[in-house]
Amino acid sequence: MNWQDRLITIYLYVCKHYQQNLWVHSQRMSNDADLSFSDEEVITIYLFAVADKHREIKGMYEYVDHHLRVWFVRLPSYVAYVQRLNQVADVFAPLLALIQQEQEPRNPGTQSKLG
């Protein structure tokens, strides 16, 4: 799968699950929040960058700013992005649990190394 297909796949997956049930885990402190850049985009950037082996938030942001700006035309400033990422941070645990649940039927008989 090329990187564009991977990015779109991640975005669609995040949108589907965020709109179904993950949105309850994000923090909305104000009705006046600028949502021109969606929570789904914030989460997608983070997941895509991690999958692409970026580990630091600053590096993730710079990569997207320099190479994927055409895909994220309303990318906010770095400070605003970090604030938004912090607001959706509680989404990642249930999102990863969903991903894990969906992967288990594909890999029957494998045991978790955690338990």
Query: How do the domains of the chain map onto residue ranges?
Result: 3-27+34-92
- Residue 34 CA to residue 58 CA, distance in Å, equals 21
pTM for this model (two decimals): 0.81
Instruction: Give the pLDDT of residue 99.
Output: 87
Instruction: Give the pLDDT of residue 28.
Output: 63
Burial class from Cβ neighbours inside 10 Å (0-12, 13-18, 19+) for residue 44 reads buried
- Residue 108 CA to residue 6 CA, distance in Å, equals 25
**For residues 67-104, b (16+ Cβ closer than 10 Å) or e, as one string?**
ebeebbeebbeeeebeebbebbeebeeebeebeeeeee
In the predicted model, residues of the chain with pLDDT beneath 50 are 113-115
Instruction: Give the pLDDT of residue 34.
Output: 64
